[in-house]
Amino acid sequence: MTVLGAGNMGHGIAEVVAIAGYDVVMRDVESDLVSEGYESIEWSLEKLAEKDRLDESVEEVLSRIDTAVELESAVADADLVIEAAPERMDLKKEIFGELDEHAPDDAILASNTSSLSITEIASATSRPESVVGMHFFNPPVKMALVEVIYGTETSDETAEAAYEFVESLGKTPIYVRKDVSGFVVNTVLGPYIAEPAWMVSGGEATVREADAAMVHRRGYPMGPFELSDLTGIDVGYHVREEAGRPIPPVMAEKVESDELGRKTGAGYYDYESGEGANYGASDDSGEFDTLRVEARMANEAARLVGDGVATPEAVDTGVRLGLGFPEGICRRADDIGLDAILEKLETLHGETDEERFPPDDHLVELVESGRTGREAGEGFYEYDSDGDGPGDYRLLNYDLSEEGLLEVELDRPERMNALSTDLLGEIDDLLSSVDAEAVRCVTFEGAGDRAFSAGADIGGFADRSPTDAMDVTPAFETVEEFPRPTLAKIEGYCLGGGLELALACDLRVATEDSEFGSPEINLGLIPGGGGTQKLLRMLGETRAKELVFRGNRIGAERAEEWGLINRAVPAEEFDEVVREFVDDLLHGPPLALEVAKKVMNEGADASLDAALAMESQGFGLLFSTDDLREGTAAFREKRDPEFTGE
């Protein structure tokens, strides 16, 4: 395949493709540009190798990357070409005209544009059915999301091939089935940036209030003004200008004064002589109308869904992976209540008559049909409302096999599986509602390849009162008290609340490159979820206090030496070791395992005499079970026992 462009996006895409095992030609118009791009790839690969995030040597990856200046030779044998040139329509159409002439007839021609029309780009060719958008996010090596965008004439075969290629790179694609301005992610992002700017322009809020409210009250990773400063205020300005949309005065003023954000040293915040984005949780954000911002984002999401541009799942995946939002906007809208969002938009439109507030037809249809969100059992999504068994979860995935293995995956890879109140609630609900009799063993793991869980989602807890925060979430207790053995499969960071979840499990197996710690002290907090007491009982006073007081991390080998985990194993042996643990638990005697867990957990907090009494009672209880008879018979007959839990 071929990547056209050796700039930040071009060389980033080429690097991702080569890491995935493909041969790639990286082409640009000047040899110096190509050389700079290649050197950037080499530097990035070396950094990945230092962090042990490459499966092969830097040299092996680089051997799959060729460079070129002449377009004709670069694309002569390509089955896929990804254009990553600057965002100018005239330039892209010129490139695609040349591709139409020189690329093989069966090649897929893709553009990495973030905002320009795929349909118009494709019009420069005689094969618009083979042209598709493949919008990688910056930096491609780190960002998991790729939008796969249909032009008006893009064939399903072309889009599906692009989608499958993205998956083969280890990235997450979403379909954008119509060629709309902003595609999916930037369509939802638009109101997040613009609406607070309109509110500040109208004297209804300050920059600091808006950022503090959206981050510390609503859990977004970065405030809208801080984000604008990071990406460049002029970027959002020109997108709105090209689309013919009104521009908030405060945004226009910053562009006119050449205060564009970090790149100029000043924007909404001062980065040279000031403290930069220095808003905090203590800022007076209580009056800032967060619903106004989220209602507009939800309205855009409704428009995307109603117009058939994307599914709710695609929209939510897009904003989570592309923007780092704590949850999808469709899920959040369902939680808020679509009726409340509709009412907010109608009120704002009635008060202002502004064209950005009229509710989308699809949002109106949902509300009028009674699909108002989670409480109603249906909104953008359908919810399990009968209370019978596990429900529909948005932050975790689970699977219960016929053998009785309940696999639970924390699904917030964009936030390194940080534990929010909602995620903890879903863990509690799953284990509280699942049929424990059908379960023989439970495993917990984190999605992605960076973390089991990097801790608590501080933003997600920001709106809790001190007295609420003192109430330990029941999730940790539910995990600890679940009657079946539980195993934490730890790859990567296991910190803070993530460590407390792992400690609530019975067993812990980790890769050697995993890291453990209780960094809460660095935030002026202490470990919660029983963390201080579990560490004290597990490690002893000396080591527990070192871990808590210093807030430092320790590696997996030291964690094993201290007794914090059961095994620290090389990454290539991890799955096999976990499988051995799970096999023993799945095929062990369910009743004996349940009694052993209960006696050991409760006995740890009792006197020795009381603990021995519990052990004796448990032993006596098991003496009359069918499992004991089966185990004894199997021992005599030299075969594996088949325990039934009776």
List, by residue number, the catalytic residues: 500, 520
DSSP string, 187-236: HHHHHHHHHHHHHHHTTS--HHHHHHIIIIIT--SS-HHHHHHHH-HHHH
- Longest CA–CA span in the chain (Å) reads 88
**Counting every residue, how long is the chain?**
646
What is the Cα–Cα distance from 435 to 137, expressed in whole angstroms? 42
Phi, psi of 130, deg, nearest 5: -100, 5
Q: Given the DSSP bridges, would you call strands 493-495 and 515-517 parallel, antiparallel or unpaired?
A: parallel
The CA-atom distances, in angstroms, between 358 and each of 191, 241, 301, 331, 350 are 13, 21, 14, 21, 9
Non-local (6+) Cβ contacts of 423 within 8 A are: 395, 396, 410, 412, 457
What is the Cα–Cα distance from 379 to 231, expressed in whole angstroms? 33
CA 69, 72, 77, 80 torsion-angle sign: positive
Decide: 228 and 214 in contact? Cβ < 8 Å.
Answer: no
Decide: 560 and 568 in contact? Cβ < 8 Å.
Answer: yes
What is the Cα–Cα distance from 300 to 243, expressed in whole angstroms? 15
Cis amide leading into 527 (omega within 30): no
- Identify the CA nearest to 482 among candidates 399, 396, 406: 406
Decide: 257 and 224 in contact? Cβ < 8 Å.
Answer: no
Non-local (6+) Cβ contacts of 516 within 8 A are: 494, 495, 499, 510, 553, 554, 555, 556, 559, 564, 565
DSSP string, 498-555: HHHHHHHSSEEEEETT-EEE-GGGGGT----TTHHHHHHHHH-HHHHHHHHHH--EEE
Decide: 251 and 243 in contact? Cβ < 8 Å.
Answer: no
The full 3-state SS of 257-289, as one line of letters, equals CCCCEHHHCECCCECCCCCCCCCCCCCCCCCCC
What is the Cα–Cα distance from 14 to 355, expressed in whole angstroms? 42
- Burial (0-12, 13-18, 19+ Cβ within 10 Å), 598: middle
